[in-house]
């Protein structure tokens, strides 16, 4: 499992998103006040390592594993996609940007809001969230494609149980 503490060591460039879910199981309400919002969950193939070709005209290969990327306590979600002539399954991540914004509200303590922007090659998904957890759901596979087949990844799922090696 990976968390936002690992953010500087991680990179999501060219990682495909297979599915997105809004999970309300994490919502906590007490005395008509929302204490925590739900989660935004992504079913992705995470590229752990790019392997340079041995020959100058050769192909790259990649160590890839299916993962669930879950952002917790999410609000203010904005999704902007323009696939143009691209097919819908080609929603690959260009990069994930994390910024922190100091927020002040009268009568409440100052707090830091974590803003996230998942830049796609065809748009973006922006939101604020407390943190993230990325769970590896399958053993990494060495392949020349930058994505796994449905069979290799076990289909679309949002499993949050890490694999046992």
pLDDT in tens, 8-56: 999 999 999 999 999 887 666 666 655 567 899 999 999 999 998 888 8
pTM, 2 dp: 0.87
Q: What is the pLDDT of residue 29?
A: 63
102: pLDDT strictly greater than 60:
yes
Query: Under 8 Å CB-to-CB from 17, ≥6 apart: which residues?
Result: 42, 43, 44, 91, 92, 93, 120
Kindly indicate the confidence band of residue 89, based on its pLDDT and cuts at 50, 70 and 90: low
Compute the C-alpha angle 99/102/105, nearest 5°. 140
Q: What is the pLDDT of residue 3?
A: 94
Greater pLDDT, 160 or 20: 20
- Asked if 64 contacts 49 with a C-beta cutoff of 8 angstroms, the reply is no
Selection from 127, 111, 162 nearest residue 39 by Cα = 127
């Amino acid at each position: 499992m990976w968390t936002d503490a690992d953010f500087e060591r991680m990179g999501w460039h060219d990682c495909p998103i297979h599915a997105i879910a809004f999970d309300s199981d994490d919502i906590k309400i007490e005395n008509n006040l929302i204490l925590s919002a739900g989660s935004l969950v992504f079913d992705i193939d995470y590229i752990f390592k790019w392997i340079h070709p041995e020959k100058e005209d050769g192909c790259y290969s990649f160590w890839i594993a299916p993962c669930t990327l879950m952002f917790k306590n999410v609000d203010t979600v904005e999704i902007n996609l323009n696939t143009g002539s691209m097919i819908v399954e080609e929603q690959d991540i260009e990069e994930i940007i994390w910024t922190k914004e100091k927020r002040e509200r009268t009568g409440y303590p100052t707090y830091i809001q974590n803003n996230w922007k998942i830049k796609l090659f065809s748009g973006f998904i922006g939101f604020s969230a407390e943190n993230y957890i990325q769970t590896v759901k399958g053993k990494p596979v060495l392949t020349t494609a930058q994505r796994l087949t449905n069979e290799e990844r076990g289909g679309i799922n949002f499993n949050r149980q890490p694999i046992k090696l």
